Chain A
Amino acid sequence: MTARIGVVTFPGTLDDRDALRAVRIAGAEPVSLWHRDKGIQQVDAVVLAGGFSYGDYLRAGAISRFSPVMGTIIEQAKAGLPVLGICNGFQILTESHLLPGAMLRNNHLHFICRDQKLRVENAETAWTADYTAGQEISVPLKNIDGRYVADERVLDELEAEGRVAFRYLDGNPNGSLRDIAGVTNAAGNVVGLMPHPEHAVEPLIGTGRTDGIGFFSSILKKLVNA
């Protein structure tokens, strides 16, 4: 038996096919979810993929948050459903208040696409168990609204609780406070990050690294062993 992992398509989602492919390569069963449906087909976990849902008009993720599917996901995430938000997915999670903070325009104001080095700070979440704490990985980064901000109190709290899940290495690409690339909720089931692990799962494609596969293998193991 394998796990069923859903990937949501909002209007304007771009990396849904890539996320489905990554799920498949990791050995789980990919399931497409549609923004207008309230139901999530009893999947065991959900990936909110990258892109520009609703054009990212107003603010990235602001409109998607109010979709029927998000109503269900927000409710179930609070009850423990594993959810991974990548890039636009991370933005949706902060707009939904499942994760703290907010995403703003990069400090240099440009879209940036590059291979990005990260440190996995928390290897105990549902999505990072296959990494070791402190492990350095490289995965593509590509966004224009990637600057993570939260107020000092929240940041201190995140640090204290080990909820900064990933940090940028070798140069902060967008002005994110404390070099934060991704965070987790307190329970470790909801994780969001700006870089794209789903683009780093095949040796020839993209930057030619497979450092991102661990996200998908982590969740698969957790679900299958559960």
Chain B
Amino acid sequence: MTTERNESAAKGRLDTVKHAAATPEAEQPWKELGLKEDEYARIREILGRRPTGAELAMYSVMWSEHCSYKSSKVHLKQFGEKVPVNDAMLVGIGENAGVVDVGQGYAVTFKVESHNHPSYIEPYQGAATGVGGIVRDILAMGARPVAVVDPLRFGAADHPDTRRVLPGVVAGIGGYGNCLGLPNIGGEVVFDACYQGNPLVNAGCIGVMKHEDIHLAKASGTGNKVILYGARTGGDGIGGVSVLASETFESTGPAKRPAVQVGDPFQEKLLIECTLEIFREKLVAGIQDLGGAGLSCATSELASAGSGGMRVELDTVPLRDSSLSPEEILMSESQERMCAIVEPQYVERFMAICEKWDVIATDIGEVTEGSQLEIFWHGEQIVDVPPRSVAHEGPTYNRPYARPDWQDALQADDANKLPRPATSGELREQVLRLVASPNQASKAWITDQYDRFVQGNTVLAMPEDAGMVRIDEESNLGVTMATDGNGRFAKLDPYAGAQLALAEAYRNVATTGAKPLAISDCLNFGSPEDPAVMWQFAEATRGLADGCLELGTPVTGGNVSLYNQTGDAAIHPTPVVAVLGVIDDVNRRTPMAFAEEGQLLYLLGDTREELGGSAWSQVVHDHLGGVPPRVDLGREKLLAEILISASRDGMIDAAHDLSDGGLIQAVTESCLRGGKGARLIVPDGLSAFTFLFSESAGRAVVSIPRSEELRFNDMCGARGLPVTRIGVVDGDEIEVQGEFSIALSELKSAHEATVPGLFA
């Protein structure tokens, strides 16, 4: 019955270009496909006729918010305008992922993407295919993927639905990433009620290549073949277009197609190995992964970036479900597929490599002399469009934005005025509550579900400040990545919040001894149609662009995820920033563990009374108000320089950055990691409370051998970084002199029991 439909379609009911030209008045379901009236009118204007069903399908997905960035583009422009002088950039924004030079002839590409919505509907598969998608992006740049990271946000830790979503998401990320053989070296897990109906599942990947291996997504060279390879195409992820199919094909329309895709990590692993072998033999002229919008996106982007046109015989696409209509094939988001442009003389070899890896590969068309993207179905033309108009010339909106009227009241509700612990006993009790709270507690139960050792190059991974992998076994060159984003800070002040996210990730990278080079981001926000959300977005992007300019770390690419809201309630604005760093010799890396009894603890940076948006205000008072900690990017840069020099010169044995939870959180983590206690002295001029809980930015704590104390102090003094000796590594408890002490064993069980208690 299914082939019958296709045959009858081929016999005349197919909406061909000719038919479209002849029937200008035919009704089309543009509205159901999410297009606005003026957008539909523009398509008609571009084509000089009504679009065919297939063309309408392509425009509707490619002009969607997700693919066209129509609401965010005007703001993202800044990342290309406020570019810091940084000679590491090899490929900038606009490609599948940016590429930076890390020295010794190596280049690194990295990117973070969101898979938020699918992960709420089907946590396992949603998260799994999120990993799959970002890995293909990196692969498409010509790089071998070497590590993944996964910044995650969930609803309240104790909400019953979080019990459904979190274990599924974690199993999905692990199930897919572990099976690909990519070590998971970092990420975040944050709980907040604002994410209840809208968890954030961001996934990032790092890839490594030699400079000469960079591949770009373009189709040029008349006569070159378009080869689709990987999984067969099925009806996944094309929910919306089935409307179109059933309109076009009357009553025999297929059942509603699922909006969720199922991933096959095994197939992806084969795709990776196969593609890398193809790269090694230099067989491709251009390459593109198939992600959102599937073939529509891959063909239009490849053609748009190339010099000529492209002709595709859509009926040659290998299918898993023979009932798919041409529109559906164009839109299908079936996973684990890639599209390559191959010179005719290399096709045979290309096919042989695919055969070796059991990967199906099909010649589906070729690069043509013209300038149009032309798609045929059993010999009849169903698409004839200028590819740029689909891929790059979608609508752009300058949506109205306005500082929300509640922002002032929120900032006026000052967290510094919240009641503080009155006694040492209360202070002690609040420390224990803090380190046991879901956001500050150990995430080992989660991260232990990820393989962090595979490939045998992992130098640092969770719970270290940043992940680090060796990329050259001879020279010990390594790369580092940290991701951060604090939605609470961003809610209080989106401009500062974005800069704090950047500063924290930057600091985390530097803490390990690596030099921060460049960033990628994943901007998770509510509906752009809400002026308050749009203001948050505008402020956050402005903050991030300004911050990158000042820190000298360009934005190499990223991802925007809008409409993260439940009803009218938007999530906290959540810009997640991934900073990539490089270290010449991984032997010099600085770990976080306080492991050497007798070493001195120094606090670097200034501690002010800054509790707005802090973990303390959340855990003890369930409060969000005031302003976030002050941002001083000049100071962040100086701190980073000190941490990097100290690691290079072997002055420090351990370091840990200070962020949410403040000093006591950082010291607890480093002591537990090293299995040693610490005696702390409250510095003059600070209350014990502020010393322990303030979240002032630009700080880190380091452990220094006594023999290096003088040299270290001299270096900091000479460069003007305030440092304070705050104690010593000692014993098996954390003691805050004159206040309280807590046995490591008690801290350990408080810190480690929470997450398994909730989810195991």
Contact = CB atoms under 8 A, between A and B. Distances in A.
B456 A54 contact: no
Given A14-B181, A205-B470, A112 B456 contact: no
Interface residues of B, number: 34
B401 interface: no
Contacts of A117: none
Contact of A57 (B266, B449, B453): B266
B35 interface: no
Which of B171, B181, B449, B451: most chain A Cβ within 10 A? B451
Name, among A51, A113, A144, A199, the residue most crowded by chain B CB atoms within 10 Å (CB to CB).
A113
B270 interface: yes
A21 B171 contact: no
Contacts of A206: 453, 456, 458
Contacts of A51: 181
Given A51-B181, A57-B266, A110 B456 contact: no
A205 B589 CA distance: 11
Contacts of B270: 11-12
B265 A110 contact: no
A56 interface: yes
Nearest to B469: A205
Interface string B215-229: 000000000000000
B262 to A, nearest CB: 13
B269 A112 contact: no
Contacts of B358: 11
Interface stretch (B59-67, B172-180, B390-398, B482-490): B172-180
A51 B269 CA distance: 11
Interface string B167-194: 0000100110011110000000000000
A140 interface: yes
B456 A198 contact: yes
Contacts of B451: 111, 113, 142
B2 interface: no
A111 B174 contact: yes
B409 interface: no
A55 B454 contact: no
Given A11-B357, A54-B266, A205 B450 contact: no
B104 interface: no
A10 B736 CA distance: 56
B456 A205 contact: yes
B456 A199 contact: yes
B586 interface: yes
Interface string A161-173: 0000000000000
A113 B452 CA distance: 7
Interface in B452-467: 452-459
A196 B171 contact: no
Nearest to B356: A36
Contacts of B448: 110, 112-114
A107 to B, nearest CB: 12
B749 interface: no
Nearest to A139: B453
A108 interface: yes
A7 to B, nearest CB: 13
Contact of A111 (B175, B453, B458, B587): B175
A50 B181 CA distance: 10
Contacts of A17: 455-456
Contacts of A54: 266
A38 to B, nearest CB: 16
B124 to A, nearest CB: 13
A84 to B, nearest CB: 16
Contacts of B454: 14-15, 18, 50, 142
A55 B586 contact: no
Nearest to A198: B456
B443 to A, nearest CB: 13
26 contacts: A11-B269, A12-B179, A14-B269, A15-B454, A15-B456, A17-B455, A18-B454, A50-B454, A51-B181, A52-B265, A55-B264, A55-B267, A110-B174, A110-B448, A110-B449, A111-B450, A112-B448, A113-B447, A113-B451, A140-B453, A142-B178, A142-B451, A142-B453, A198-B456, A205-B456, A206-B456
Given A11-B358, A111-B171, A113-B452, 5 more contacts: A12-B266, A52-B178, A52-B265, A198-B456, A204-B459
Closest 3 pairs (CB-CB, A-B): A55-B266, A14-B181, A18-B456
Interface of A: 11-12, 14-15, 17-18, 21, 50-52, 54-57, 108, 110-114, 140, 142, 144, 196, 198-199, 202, 204-207
